[in-house]
Structure 1
């Protein structure tokens, strides 16, 4: 099997959910947000439905949008197993048209970090504005960059976590390296998945947003 194929195995919906099994503290926040501003709710970059499904179970009319069809397939299977009817849409958050407006639009769990430049950000925010009810809210969850992490030695590995492989191959350990390009504000990350003496490498990028920067970008795009 080619390295790319191996890499995809360790980035499918099952592995994603296991890697993030302990990430759930934001669910109650989104429930409170939904109760305050109302349905319908649109989740951008919904992935495997980590947030979408609990909100649907809580009674919210919610749509999940994501660019990854494999992730959405896994989300649909999870929703079906819970007898939930959720609309999952395969679309790019920079260019979508759902022909309806939403009172609550959420962009959870650092997903906005995968919009790498101003053109991407403006395109996404433009779509959000077109879909947001005039009395609605747009909520973004993004971490403040850690200079300690951004200034790491590029070749030095750091422990991320571990989980049990869903195909019973044993314990999977994840370590990472990263290189930060301050000219583009992009952090280039590599995750190393180690199991049974073998290693799979998966690279991804994350755009860093510094304090007040998002405020200015939102204001520029017409948000209050």
Structure 2
């Protein structure tokens, strides 16, 4: 397999990308403010690197469902997969553009799901859930440990008495505590069909990470370079239209001990931690997957 993938983005989403973003750079302090800029391109990541966590959440859903809350649902890959099993899924995200993609995919597949556009730190819901999950580094968009405690307090509020919460974060590694700069990484290149004429474009994603050890954060820049292609042979011909979408954000580096302290302050306790989705011991993988429950009274 060449590592290039074909998918389709509608003409409306192309207009959103090329009309609003063609020469625009987002340099906001928070990724969440401008996540809509990359919503149409977000799922290309998971074509390049297929998700390994969906079956993990399905297994938990079989035990702790049917009522499931996903924080940071994004384009709905996990939430829709759970809903397709018959679970009652509520998905929360701060980005209306992400939720629009989820809603469109749900409608296309006839999948029932409840979507809520709110900040997970100030969530207002009417239900409790047997399973609350924050997948794929959602918690790392908290900028301080105080915000982590607020997030855990939200989880505690909506977690059923016999339910569990699952928090998936990057496991800290030495680069997180090294002074910048780190070299840019070309993450992937893919071909995707764009626009009403359905002509391919080549999209290349480059990632730049600048650790800030003093604050336990890493500043991340995603560049998406979009080159139009003249025909359907997946080769760039001549001087086609070139655009760049750039989004900057910061991720909090969280250790297991910090996770445990934040949980205690929110009346939660850690059941177990794992290093990957095969449930190997923490320290043997690149993830910090934490299972929590309400503190025993």
Q: Structure 2-normalised TM-score? A: 0.69
Q: Distance in 2 between matches of 1:12 and 1:201?
A: 8
CA contact (8 A) 1:39 1:103 kept: yes
1:218 pairs with 2:263: yes
Deviation at 1:163, TM superposition (A): 2.2
Contact 1:150 1:179 survives alignment (8 Å): no
Match of 1:173 in 2: 204
1:121-170 per-residue CA deviation (whole Å, 9 max, x = no partner) reads 22211111111101000100111122236537426311211222441452
Runs of 5+ in structure 1 lacking a partner?
none
For residues 122 and 4 of structure 1, what CA distance do their matches in structure 2 show? 38
Q: Match for 2:82 among 55, 63, 67?
A: 55
Distance in 1 (CA, whole Å) between partners of 2:173 and 2:193 is: 32
Off by >4 Å, runs of 4+ in structure 1: 1-10
Answer yes or no: is 1:75 the counterpart of 2:120.
Answer: no
- Measured after TM superposition, the shift of residue 195 of structure 1 is 3.0
2:92 aligns with one of 30, 48, 65? 65
Residues 1:180 and 1:149: Cα distance change in structure 2 (over 3 Å): closer
The number of residues matched between the two structures is 224
Whole-angstrom distance in 2 between the partners of 1:155 and 1:132? 39
1:15–1:165 CA contact under 8 A, matched in 2 = no
Q: How do 1:8-47 and structure 2 match up within 5 A?
A: 11-21=37-47, 22-47=49-74
**Are the counterparts in 1 of residues 180 and 212 from structure 2 also a CA contact under 8 Å?**
no
Q: In the alignment, what sits opposite 2:149?
A: 122
CA contact (8 A) 2:192 2:202 kept: yes
Name the larger-Rg structure. 2
Q: Is the 8 A contact 2:74 2:93 kept in 1?
A: yes
Partner of 2:114: 87
1:192 counterpart (213, 223, 228): 223
Say which structure, 1 or 2, has more relative contact order (CA 8 Å, 6+ apart).
2
Q: 1:152 to 1:171 in 2, by over 3 A?
A: farther
